Amino acid sequence: MELRSSYFTGRPETAPHRSLLKACGFTEEELSKPLIAVVSAHSEIVPGHVNLDKITAAVKAGVSAAGGTPVMVPAIGVCDGIAMGHNGMKYSLPSRELIADSVETMIEAHRFDGMVLVPNCDKIVPGMVMAACRLNLPAVAVSGGPMLAGTVCGEEVSLSKMFESVGSYKAGIIDKDGLDDITSKCCPSCGSCSGMYTANSMNCLCEAIGIALPGNGTIPAVYSERIILAKHAGEAIVNMVKRGVTARDIINPRSIRNAIACDMALGCSSNSVLHLLAIAQEAGVEVDLNMFNEISERTPNLCHLAPAGPTHMQDLYQAGGVQAVLSELLRGGYIDGEAMTVTGRIIADNVKGIKLGVQNAIRPLDNPYTATGGLAILFGNIARGGCVVKRSAVAPEMLTHSGKARVFNSEEEAIAAIYDSKIEHGDVVVIKYEGPKGGPGMREMLNPTSALAGMGLDKSVALITDGRFSGASRGASIGHVSPEAAAGGDFALIEEGDIIDIDIPAYSVNLRVSDKELAKRRKSFTPIVKDIPGKWLKRYASLVSGADKGAVLR
């Protein structure tokens, strides 16, 4: 196949282009080879990205060894943990769209032949994969790898424990020394935070969907094996360019369904729903929320990594990683083993010979945590377009719950009430106007869920919002309510003291109020309009779709 970059070589008309490329230091020999963009989100503010300079260098070495010319180009990235709980979080989900647009811009403006995507954290992974699908060029993703879990008093801990410890401190369960001890020890290395949070969820699902090499989701960031993986990713992209294999050859209806099934088995972050919807749209694949329930209903949940359980990414790695999970799913007929991957082989060939050993991170098919998947989509009169809960992180006694609505119009109002001990056992905390449009930016709310967990209320108090939750959240935390309050959804009509009925096994959430009463409330309803900081967020709020459509820009 003719290289896109050949536009620059050998033609008198493009001599000016070559002069500029030579000004960058490229030789004629380098310009005659496949020109590979190594899209790196390296920065010094994101713990999952501080090592991406080393990953990028390894990818470049792999590209060169395979006969290509690597070129590093930059991408932005937000650390959701650092952005948590303040206006910075309003920029996190919107950054996904900026990343997709900027990758498209850099690749098209410079006629690259293929790309290796080097992200690690929450919105950077899906943003880059969205761009790859949009461009439909050869692409491989290779992440920076997960952080090691910390150890406190002999117990493995991670960022979710850190956030919950703030609630424990506020409740007087631990003292300042205890809080400081966890602060110093919970994040002991670079990498994406060590539970099955959003970053690790998406890096694992990149394996399941086929756009990343085996090991991408679980090899720890500090292991030399991660550098070797990056070199192999560089080799793989050159092979894909030579064979003419593109992103949409990999990401298609078959692989999207595989990714959703793997999502259910792993117990991934609820944010994976938003991102898989967005990736599917860019790939031209029809997916809706009902498909998640359909696949969840028949796919067993095999993993309970933090925050759902005590294991972390290093434990999943030792158990065989995502490929071991895929092997179990294939054995049970839950995925399509014929789906192609960037290895040049189908999934069935990639997992051949992989068996579960003695470990505690992956249960076998005959002993799952549950017969149904880790996520559930709930529908009802306050979520006619659906909402999402990480079912695997909900205590059994909270799978069905009825409680009194405690209504707040922002995360800040809710967290203040929680810290002031104004929330009681049995309550349902309702947080409105935090959706894609109303927030804007659909903030993650790890602070209120962690405060509830740290105070011992996660097994008696539910929380429902049109915003999002971090993958580190646990308990009956129901997010992504659609239509959102700012768009006039019936969610906006909930009043203090109303009774909300939650039935996760039945996929339902309803306000115990008649349609007649809701219609009466609607007549006097005026949505709250928040002051939006910054031109970018104003533009985002005016263009963003609902969460049920992936919160993509129209």
Q: By the 8 A CB rule, do 370 and 392 touch?
A: yes
Residue 440 CA to residue 442 CA, distance in Å, equals: 6
Closest residue by Cα to residue 209 from 339, 360, 42, 60: 339
Q: Give me the count of residues in the chain.
A: 554
Dihedrals phi, psi of 278, to nearest 5 degrees: -70, -40
Indicate which residues carry an active-site annotation. 470
Q: By the 8 A CB rule, do 85 and 415 touch?
A: yes
Element (H, E) at 141: strand 139-141
Residue 115 CA to residue 243 CA, distance in Å, equals: 14
Residue 227 CA to residue 4 CA, distance in Å, equals: 29
Quick one: how far is CA 441 from the chain centroid? 15
CA distances from 240 to 182, 215, 227 (A): 45, 19, 20
Residue 280 CA to residue 292 CA, distance in Å, equals: 13
Sign of CA dihedral 26, 65, 134, 43: negative
* Antiparallel, parallel or unpaired: β 150-152 and 155-157: antiparallel
Give the start-end residues of each E strand in 332-472: 376-380, 383-389, 400-408, 428-431, 462-465
